[in-house]
Structures are given as structure tokens and as C-alpha cells.
Structure 1
């Protein structure tokens, strides 16, 4: 009878760690990118008086600055949920600190990404609906 190790390998731990941190910080970084690109394009095109950004109308660039960060945030939310599910504790391991920390980070990631997704969507609606250059 062969005995297999239950401990994850180095690559699995690294991937799990990176996935967990993406689940925690992905929405915040995506929101920062949305903030700088979305509102920045709106303000700079208005100030410069131009009607094209890289060959696209400013509304298209702003729309991309809403959709892409929202998709990144949804991916981070799914990563946080996956981390939450992977760190489900067996009944006998309730005081295992690494699992408890990972589970707490996953919970912070879930709620944080929901918040950042709402901020990105509502901010995108505001920048697309409010008239620019006023």
C-alpha cells in the first residue's frame, strides 16, 4: 500500500498564495485603474478639447475603463470564493492558524470585491451619464 503525502507541493502553495492575494487585492487595484483611466480620460479630453483617444471616442475608452476593471474584480471575487472553499476546516482542525488566516483573508476578499465592484459600476455610470466639459 502506497502512502501519499497530503501536504501540497511548492507550486501548489505558490499558486494558492498568489490566488489568495489576487482575491484580496484584485478589486482594489482594478478600482484604482478604473479611477485613473475613467475619470482621467474624461477630464483630459475635456481640458485638451480633443474628440479621439487612440482613435476611439472618449466614451468608448471610458466604457472600456469600466468593463475591464469590473471583469478583473469579478475574477478576484471568484478567486476569493475559491480560497474560501479551499480553506474549509475539517472538524478536528479548528485551531489551525494558517487556515484561519487564509479563511479570514478570503472573507475580506469576498466582501471587499463586492464593494469595489459596486464602486466601479456606480462610478462608471456616473462618468458615462454626467455631462462632461462643464
Structure 2
């Protein structure tokens, strides 16, 4: 932050050397407000932020460009999720099959009949 203010002050002093008060006022108006404007200002990267995906995969869409502003929780891209979708569908089918097998009492009836035959 200190470096940014130094660069801003230097740039404004170069562009408006005659009146320091006007330069300071211009600097304050430039950095406050919804869309800050900094004419003749050198901007350097202060911090690089890595935004990892929650799951690894091939990136199929990228909805932002370098320098874009993003909101918290905004989707900035989409990975190919066809493989996890197939695995989910398979798991749902297996669950449905297991529920049907649980409802089916053929094994219980067979075991009871076999027990009765064995008792005789």
C-alpha cells in the first residue's frame, strides 16, 4: 500500500507540478469512489492469488480473463465432469439394485423351506 501511494504521488506530481494541493485533491478523488482512476501511474503486482479447483479435471470453459474483477463464490470456469457424473449414475443404479434386493425375500423363503425339509 505504501509503494502504491508513493507511485501515485510521484505520478501526479509529475503531471501537475504547479499546484501540490490540487494534485493531492486529484489523488484523493482518484483512489476513492466506485471506479478508481490513476492516470500516468505504474502498477505492479502486489500479490498473486492461486484459485485451485475443488476437484482436478480438464477445463472446458473459462468465463473470465486476466485482470477481470470477480465476486466471492462466482464461478470462473468449469471442468469436464462427465466421469464423475457417470460414477454417480452407476452408484445410484447400484443403490437402487441393493434396495430391490433388500425388499426381495426369496432368499428368506428359500432358507425357511430348506430348513423345514432338513428337519424332516
TM-score (norm 1): 0.28
More strand by share: 2
Where relative contact order (Cα < 8 A, 6+ residues apart) is larger, the structure is: 1
Structure (1 or 2) with the larger CA radius of gyration: 2
More helix by share: 1
TM-score (norm 2): 0.30
